[in-house]
Amino acid sequence: MGSETIRRTILALAVMAALSTPALAADPPAPPMAGGAILTWTPEQQLYGYRNMEKVAPVGTAPRGTKVRELPAGTPIDPTWTWNGQRQTVASYMSAMRTSAVVVLKDGKIVLERYGMGRKPAERWTSFSVAKSMTATLVGAAIKDGHIKSLDEDVTSYIPELKGSAYEGVNVRQLLTMTSGVKWNEDYTDPNSDVARAGFAASEPGMNPIVSYMRKLPREAEPGSKFVYKTGETDLAGILVSKAVGKSLSRYLSEKIWAPYGFEEDAIWVLDSAGHERGGCCMSMTARDYARIGQFMLEGGQVGGKEVLPAGWVADATKAHQTFAPGGVETGYGYFWWIIPGGYAAEGIFGQQIFIYPVERLVIAVNSAWPAASQDKLWKAQAAFAEAVRTAAR
């Protein structure tokens, strides 16, 4: 047998062995691509993908600074409560709700910190629509810096590609309060909904794909007259900020808030197909950094005593510009912030939430991998958990 024949035989045997022996991979296979597909990930794909968005989709990075805002230990709490007739503990809640992390700050000190689903404190987790609240905060920063003149400016002044569309005559305030009057379908269970299709729609040459999609939508109400939750408009808000400041959202976030305030780890932010951060979705950060967002807001949007946001911005952004009928978890809507009894919250599907209670000086950060994107029973269960934490922290 010649040397070449021997070499080929050894190679064939190695290939056969590899095919017949279970692979010991360091990581499980990556989940499907991001965008609309993220709404249908399996539980296993959620566990991998929520931790590893940078391996699933292109991302921008908001670098941390040289100093970390410490979160010292406070007096520990261990809430218990009753929900649907059953006694609940933090451990039972986290197991039932597929919760990967809970961090609670009282007066800027950690009084509760737990992890589940194999997550480690240094691991990031995707935010879904919690990113919307950060996008609105960057609008405030851009107004403070003079890049955006006011909330009464027309959206088309900053995104001229929207001229002649249903966004003609819509101002920045109406964009932030979801009252543009433009028709939109946010049904997470419908593969043909706008929220599922917008990220994959074909773009017009030289135009951001989100802008291209949004400018084709019809108007269903006069601007300012009707609230409809629209992820696409928060993407527009992010594009508006970037155009106004001449920088990416990640870079502007890092310069204005992330680095100077002292966030613990770099944040990452999923990009659209044109390479622009999605203003409406998918930042990733550690659980403690979720809590730091809440603490930053509690402190009035200041860094080292210096105002990053316009005077009164936090109060204005977190009051009810739209009010809802009784019976739901939220009572109203501000500038991409949800109004809740006693405070306000940043919320993302599949169970991401930052509860902020100004009077109690309390922040509750929660990350989850719910089996459904958004169901009333899940939000109500999480609200009951937050109320139990409030009671225990008093």
Q: CB of 293 within 8 A of CB of 89? A: no
pLDDT class for 24, splitting at 50, 70, 90?
very low
Residues ≥6 apart with Cβ < 8 Å to 102: 90, 94, 112, 113, 114, 287, 364, 365, 366
pLDDT tens digits along 204-257: 888 999 999 999 999 999 999 999 999 999 999 999 999 999 999 999 999 999
**Tally of domains within the chain:** 1
In-domain check, residue 171: yes
Burial of 72: CB neighbours in 10 Å, binned 0-12, 13-18, 19+: exposed
pLDDT tens digits along 85-119: 999 999 999 999 999 999 999 999 999 999 999 99
pLDDT class for 38, splitting at 50, 70, 90?
confident
In-domain check, residue 61: yes
pLDDT class for 154, splitting at 50, 70, 90?
very high
Q: CB of 181 within 8 A of CB of 225? A: yes
In-domain check, residue 42: no
Min mean pLDDT across 174-183, 197-206, 384-393 is at 197-206
In-domain check, residue 72: yes
Residue 299 — φ and ψ, nearest 5°? -85, 15
pLDDT of residue 37: 78
pLDDT of residue 110: 98
Average pLDDT of every residue of the chain: 91
Residue from 329, 302, 330 nearest 318 by CA? 330
335: containing domain: 53-393
Segment 293-304 mean pLDDT = 96
In-domain check, residue 203: yes
Residue with tokens 């959202």: 249
pLDDT at 8 over 70: no
In-domain check, residue 28: no
pLDDT class for 9, splitting at 50, 70, 90?
very low
pLDDT of residue 205: 87
Q: CB of 98 within 8 A of CB of 368? A: yes
pLDDT tens digits along 305-346: 999 999 999 999 999 999 999 989 999 999 999 999 999 999
pLDDT class for 30, splitting at 50, 70, 90?
low
Give the percent of the chain with pLDDT over 70: 90
pLDDT tens digits along 272-292: 989 999 999 999 999 999 999
In 3-state terms, what secondary structure has residue 46? helix
In-domain check, residue 27: no
pLDDT at 18 over 60: no
Residue with tokens 């009010």: 323
Report the relative pairing of strands 86-89 and 80-83 from DSSP bridges: antiparallel
Highest mean pLDDT among 9-13, 88-92, 201-205: 88-92
Q: Rounded CA gap, 11 and 27, in Å? A: 26
Residue 296, domain CATH:
3.40.710.10
pLDDT at 174 over 80: yes
- The whole-model pTM stands at 0.90
